[in-house]
Amino acid sequence: MSTPLITISRVSELREQLAELRSQGKTLALVPTMGNLHQGHLRLVEEARRHADIVIASIFVNPLQFGPGEDFERYPRTLEQDQQLLQSVGCDLLFTPDVGEVYPEGQEQITRVVVPVVSEGLCGQKRPGHFDGVATVVTKLFNFVQPDIACFGQKDYQQLAVINKLVKDLSFPIRIIGVPTCRTSEGLALSSRNAYLTPEQLKKAPSLYATLQATGLKLAAGNSHFIELCHFARARLAEQGFAPDYVEIRSLDLSPPGIKADSWVILVAARLGKARLIDNLVVHRDKH
């Protein structure tokens, strides 16, 4: 029988618990989430379990990364269900602070962590301040937990790039593991915001990834007309009923794409009804 999941909401209690585990020589892995967990989150926990003795998940809907008019208030909160799912995959500890615990002095005057360059453009342009909020809360979580390892999904490619740069630049002694995107059998990337889709929209949603794949085939085959490829993808998405925020081709480090490069990443964000969906595809040039 698995050990019961321990749920903690206070930073002081969390630190006390983790200090005891560290004194026993245990290695710690952190899986930060905003809750409303799905199979993609559980895969992060399973990956974390492979690399550390103790797995800590956090659930915190971070107001600092939501802009005006975004879905902070209606973001799905399903704590009891999330606890059961985490228990089922062997998570050891769940940290569930409230806003006052994370930002005891309020949010207006708080020191913010800004990660330049990789946080600019793409979602950083469409959601101003979003990645400052992400970087700030992740820095706080890293300081609360002081993990050896932290796992993040590759679905949010830009976020993963921001966190990798954050850890490198601020010299956090933490190994970041990017975990491949978890998809439905039709190819739709799992996301808590998929709950906003109607049954009809759920049928259309997999065409987002299908469009990435179709664009990727052209890119891999040697078509380096990046702007034309992005126009092709945007038009295809619009035909399917999406409202694209952006489709861009970048180098793997998110710098502008090189014509002679061997690998690229195609990144997309598009709205379908009330949901804003993001996805990406890493493409390698055909060698034959």
Calpha distance 134→140 (Å, rounded): 10
**Which one is predicted more confidently, 69 or 49?**
49
- Phi-psi map region of 122: left, alpha, beta (phi>0 left; psi -120 to 50 alpha): left
**Which one is predicted more confidently, 68 or 56?**
56
Calpha distance 238→278 (Å, rounded): 15
Mean pLDDT of the chain: 96
**Domains of the chain and CATH, by start:** 6-179 (3.40.50.620), 192-283 (3.30.1300.10)
Report if pTM > 0.75: yes
Catalytic site residues? 41
Task: Name the phi and psi angles at 153, rounded to 5.
Answer: -75, 150
- How does pLDDT run across 181-213, given as a tens digit for each residue? 999 999 999 999 999 999 999 999 999 999 999
